[in-house]
Amino acid sequence: MDVCRKYAPVVEKFSIDECFLDMSGTQRLYPNPSAIAMRMKNEIRDTLGFTVNIGIGPNKIFAKMASDFEKPDQIHTLFSVRFLKSFGLCRFGRFFTVGRTAQRLEKRRNIHHWRPGSRKYCLCPDADRQKAWTAVA
């Protein structure tokens, strides 16, 4: 977490080995999110001796999903346009924050999938309210 705090004004611990970095307001300091993520990833590897995945997205949900794309030692981005093109019709359980209880409730209603862009089942906040979040896994 100490390495992450060097780069972001707000670091939110998510679990013993994961955190979210709020990179809002750092665009002038770090104009290229992928470049700073690479620097962070390499510093963690060189300083602490282990690899991390970093996901970059407009909010925590997208950032976390991006960090889970491919492991180990990778950086991935996920933004709304790519999300809508990439996922098509998806199982609810594939999404970060959709747990077993939500899956059971939807299954009872005979709903097993979610189509990105569907207003009824949209998991993402309005674009106007989104912050720039980076997930480090």
18: annotated active-site residue? yes
Q: What are residue 19's phi and psi, to 5 degrees?
A: -150, 160
Nearest Cα residue to 107 out of 93, 117, 127: 93
The active-site residue, picked from 18, 43, 70, 106, is: 18
Helix, strand, coil % over all residues of the chain, rounded to 5 = 35, 20, 45
Enumerate helices (H) and strands (E) in the chain, giving the number of each: 5, 7
Q: Which residues are catalytic?
A: 18
